[in-house]
Structure formats: structure tokens, C-alpha cells
Structure 1
């Protein structure tokens, strides 16, 4: 799940370095130091019960606010010079407001991007941006308790819409983002209910429709892409299994493997554990319960992390090795929310946010209207914010600064 904040992947395990062994204690220590929460100090604050209820979310107003931003975009004179238009579009895609990660990551694949853009522009075709993403809300109550998309996902869709509209200012056919939902193919690996992953995907599609964004954003399912090339995928997975398992067991302390485990540990389904237990494990807070129980849970989470990370790496390696996305969308511009060499990274929340994954937290609306994403366990302790519930729903749709 290349772009879901599951992990930074073992995209080419055969080229990774050898190193030494690790254990779950070291892994958890690295998690504690990884910045999952801004400040331990916030954990000392009690959870507040400030809340308000709204009858429904106003999608019409949200879209109107987006279109007000569109009106402020600088209009460029349309040019018939393909090279100039390519340059203009790349200039937009690599703006700091959109580009995530260092420009050198894009430069590695500049020639390929320019060729793909040139071909589409010459044929007067709409540009296609392919983005595997929107898996499911993370099954970790410290990050988010809501299972369906919220204001965080809505904000992300709005950002992608604005990107397409800005491209339209220099190239009339514009652009369209193809979101490739990958939650259903990873649900089993991360012990998540498949039905919830499917429901989450359908609700994101519903958001797109409610905002009238179908001309700019569509969502497909990675399951369907794999089905189109099922025979080739089966063979790729056989090879991937051998390669990744060999690397995995021979290089237990490789830095990429460690990073994979770190991210997997904070993204597997830990719903069955209490938040007190999870805080003790991830944030090193004092646990007032049975210490032996805490150790058992640590061991369970570590074991599941190892299993999920290996399965994930095998599946992703298979998908990447056969270039599945490019096969299904020839000529597309491959984008990602994980900065990496050769792919264009995109900000899905905002350039200022330490979070880049709407599904990994809750939407937070500031006084100035800016929308960000935060850990729910942190924002619910901040007296500045009130939880906003939609009538009839169990969990907040967003948190709002008072």
C-alpha cells in the first residue's frame, strides 16, 4: 500500500543493505521516538467532553468555499507550445503547496514525466494522475476512533480538486486524479474487517459525488486492477515471496526493514486493547494495571507487526514489480503521498502539517478555516477544541477550534 502510510516499503529488497538483529524492546523504543505524538506533556491533560452536534455536514457550503479559492487562482494565457505547457504544468505540480518531499525525488524521473505530459498534451487529452491511497481509517484508537471518512478526507479531496483546477489554468483539458483504493487488498494483512474497508471506500466515493467532483476525481479499487492481470500477478507474487522472505530473514536489522516495522506497528488493528495499554506501549506512560498483562500485549503487538509487515512487503513487491498501476493506466502520471525517488510526492493535508494522511487521524478545523489532521487522543485533551458530531453518529466528524 505504497501511499497509505502503511510504511516506507522494501520496494527492491535485493538491493538493501545487510545488518544485525533487533528485538521488540528496541522496536518499541524506536516507535516512542518516532514522533507519533507531538508532546508527552499533552498526555498529562485530562480528556475533555466539549462537544456540539450538527444535523448534517454542509457539503454545498464546503464546495462553495473551494470554488472561492479557485477564483483566486492566477489565470495564464493558454499556449499552443507543448514544451511551454509541459513546463507550466510541472511548475504547478512541484509548487511547495502541492509537492511533498525534496525536488530531487522528482528530478530522477523528470524525463519520464515530461514525455508522458507531452504525449497527453499533443493529443489534447486530460492528464491522469494515479494515486494509490485511501485505505481505511487506522484501527488504532490513539489515532482515530471513527471508522468512516471525516473532514480530514474531505479536505484532501478539496486539495486534489484545487490542483486539477490550477492545471486547468494553463491547459484547458485539465487533469483528473484516479484514486486507487487499496484498503480491501490489505484488510486481511492488517487484521481489519474487509466490510469496513469496502464501506470506507464507498463513503469516500459518496463524498466525491456530494461535492460534484466526478469530473476531477474518481476512485477505483486495487482489487479490480489485480483481477485484470490475475495470472501475471500470481506469478509475480510467487517470485516476490521468495525474494522478500529471503531478504527478511537474512537482514533482520536493515534500516528499511526497521522503518517498515515501525510504521506497521502503529497501523495494525489494535482495537481490542484499551487506550491505557496502548498509551503505555506507544507513549511510555505509566500503566496502573497488571504489568504482566502489559508485557503480554507488547509481545502480541510485536508478533502481529512482524507477520503483517512481511505479508505487506510481499504483496506490495509483487504489485510494484509488475508495474500494475502503469499497466492499467498507460500514460498516467504516477503520484504518491510518500516521498520517494522517481515519484512525485503530494501533500494530502497541507504543507504545514506533520501528518500527510487523512486516514491516520481526525480532521481539525482551525479558527482561520484551515483544516489539519491530528491524533484524536491528543486533540481531545486540548481545551481549545470542541468535538463536532453529526446527529446520530457515534464519533466526531471533526474537531473545531473555539
Structure 2
């Protein structure tokens, strides 16, 4: 939905107001000037939102993420979505609802569930990924979060085997390892992403029998594969949702083409609901942390017969 003429002031002002609703939730590791940042610091997103506004069309956001639960039982409560995902989905739907209050056509978010894209690299079985994605859809339907939808490889490549789907996406879209290595050496954001993914892979690995240094070497290799597949998935999403505003669960610098968004409070900007468990603090607020740490602070709560979250002890 490209702009062909100069945007009118009314559309630009409304687009800035819409983007201002997202700014309190911007996920970034650069907090030096964060308090002074306004919508004009995000020209890429402003142009995209203005295109929707000028067409009086619902604003479409895409959010790659919600892949699957970490395979490390010390971090999560199981392989299915729990309270962390429920709270995150409600937050995303409420964000669209807030946009609808100032922009009647409203907004919707397409959750691009990417578990199958790199399930083999993060050592999560494909049937667990299917179950996770199916439960996301069920949660959205049961909670009437009608501004959200889920998009995954099954929507693109149908009944192909999971291995064939990954091969197709990798071969068609993924950059070479050599290209990524060069980026890691020269680009600070790519280096931060590489280090963050490596750390998660180390933390998520359970039952490794080798040395710590051997595990780190293996995870550094797998991290390049995860970034390759993530880039490939991003390009595929762009083909299928060409005009959408791209959100990211990873921290992003101010003005980047992707807008990093924080789903829930956590002490680490990289923490997500699928790498952690939710803890309800004594004051009623929520945070995310490894399940083993949450268990030391509170008692386990079940919902629908499954572990859901922890309640902090008074």
C-alpha cells in the first residue's frame, strides 16, 4: 500500500497518534534517549501506518514469534501455552482495541508462529510445535480476541512434511552463513542478536553430556542457523503480508524497520513467555522469569488441569 502523493497533515497526525499508543511498549536495549522519543523517530512505521489511514483500511501488524515452549523444564511449565501466552494475547488484542478508539477502521495483528521454521535447531519436536500453535488458535477463539490471528508454515506449504517445509524456506530465502558472519563482525545489532540467541540456546539445552565449552561451540553454530531461518521467515512473511507494519519480539533500536514490542514485564529485555513462566506478584502485577526461580517465590496455580503460573507468597 505505497504512498503515491505527499501525506496530508490530518493523516500524518492521526498516524502519529496511533504510533504513540505503541511507544510505551517499545522493546529496546537502548534506554539512553528513550524518554525523549516520539512518533517522529519512527519514520518507517509512520509511512506504513499513514498508507493504511489514507485508505481508511484496518492497520495490519505482523509479529513473528510464539514459536513453541523452551525444551528446558527449568524455564517453562510444559510444551503448551500457559498464563504468559494468555496475558500476551490479551495485551496484543487490547492494543488493537485502543487503536480502534481513535481510528474506527481499527487494527489487527497476525501472529506469525515460527516454531516449525527452526524446530530442529532448537530441539523441539514438531508435534509439540503443532500442539502449541493449535492451542494459540484455541485461546484466541475461546477468549474472543478477534483482532488476532495465527499464521504458520501450514498456511503456506500445506501438507508437506515439516522437514520439506524447512528445506523449502531455507533454500529460497535464507542468507548464507558467510553473509551472517560478516554482519556479526561489523553490525552491532546483528552481534547482539547472535549473542542473545546463543545464550538462549545454551540455557534451553537440557541433558547435554559434553563440556560447557563444547555446548557453547555447538550453540554458536546453531545460532547462525536460527538467524538464517528467522531472516527467511521474515522474507516469506513480507511476501504474504506486503503492506503490514512489522513488529518484533526482539529489542530493536529507535528508527529500525522493525518495531520491537514488549509483551509482558521482565527483568531482561530478551525474555518472552515461551522462555519462561508467569509470576503474579503480591501487588497483583505480572512478570516473567524461569519457572524454577518462580517456584522459589510462589506456589503453582493450575488452569484447565494444567500448570498455568505462579502466585507470589505474601
| Counterpart-to-counterpart distance in 2, 1:233 and 1:303 | 22
The answer for the alignment partner of 1:67 in structure 2 is none
Q: CA deviation at 1:166?
A: 0.9
Within the candidate set 218, 235, 243, 2:179 is matched to 243
Q: CA deviation at 1:343?
A: 1.9
Q: Which moved more, 1:352-361 or 1:129-138?
A: 352-361
The answer for the alignment partner of 1:388 in structure 2 is 301
Q: Determine which structure has greater relative contact order: mean sequence separation of CA pairs < 8 Å that are 6+ residues apart, divided by chain length.
A: 1
Cα distance, 1:105–1:184 mapped onto 2, change above 3 Å? farther
Unaligned ranges ≥5, structure 1? 1-79, 274-292
Unaligned ranges ≥5, structure 2? 1-8, 159-164
The answer for the alignment partner of 1:92 in structure 2 is 21
Matched, 1:221 2:152: yes
Q: Please say which structure displays the higher CA radius of gyration.
A: 1
Cα distance, 1:329–1:317 mapped onto 2, change above 3 Å? closer
| Counterpart-to-counterpart distance in 1, 2:20 and 2:190 | 31
Cα distance, 1:168–1:263 mapped onto 2, change above 3 Å? same
The answer for the alignment partner of 1:204 in structure 2 is 136
Within the candidate set 79, 98, 104, 1:147 is matched to 79
Name the SS of the counterpart of 1:399 in structure 2: strand
The answer for the alignment partner of 1:234 in structure 2 is 171
Aligned-residue Cα RMSD (Å) equals 3.2
Name the SS of the counterpart of 1:178 in structure 2: strand
The answer for the alignment partner of 2:6 in structure 1 is none
Give the aligned length.
286
The answer for the alignment partner of 1:334 in structure 2 is 246
Within the candidate set 202, 205, 215, 1:270 is matched to 205
| Counterpart-to-counterpart distance in 1, 2:12 and 2:227 | 39
TM-score when normalising by structure 2: 0.79
Q: Give the structure with the higher percent helix.
A: 2
Check the 8 A contact 2:170/2:229 in 1, yes or no.
no
| Counterpart-to-counterpart distance in 2, 1:116 and 1:177 | 14
Check the 8 A contact 2:277/2:309 in 1, yes or no.
yes
Matched, 1:343 2:267: no
Cα distance, 1:360–1:124 mapped onto 2, change above 3 Å? same
Per-residue CA deviation, residues 328-362 of structure 1 (Å, 9 max, x unaligned), is 11221111122223321211003x65354111110
Check the 8 A contact 2:276/2:288 in 1, yes or no.
yes
Per-residue CA deviation, residues 261-302 of structure 1 (Å, 9 max, x unaligned), is 4532433552335xxxxxxxxxxxxxxxxxxx7xx3424422
Q: CA deviation at 1:136?
A: 1.1
Matched, 1:354 2:268: yes
Cα distance, 1:113–1:257 mapped onto 2, change above 3 Å? closer
State how 1:61-72 maps to structure 2 within 5 Å: none
Check the 8 A contact 1:135/1:181 in 2, yes or no.
yes
Q: CA deviation at 1:219?
A: 0.7
The answer for the alignment partner of 1:116 in structure 2 is 48
Name the SS of the counterpart of 2:311 in structure 1: strand
Name the SS of the counterpart of 2:176 in structure 1: helix
Q: CA deviation at 1:186?
A: 0.9
| Counterpart-to-counterpart distance in 1, 2:259 and 2:106 | 18
Q: CA deviation at 1:325?
A: 2.4
TM-score when normalising by structure 1: 0.63
Matched, 1:193 2:125: yes
State how 1:24-103 maps to structure 2 within 5 Å: 81-94=10-23, 96=24, 98-101=25-28
Within the candidate set 227, 235, 239, 1:313 is matched to 227
Q: CA deviation at 1:223?
A: 5.7
Per-residue CA deviation, residues 166-213 of structure 1 (Å, 9 max, x unaligned), is 111110111101100001111011221111111111111111111001
Q: CA deviation at 1:313?
A: 2.6
Check the 8 A contact 2:278/2:288 in 1, yes or no.
yes
Within the candidate set 267, 273, 298, 2:212 is matched to 298
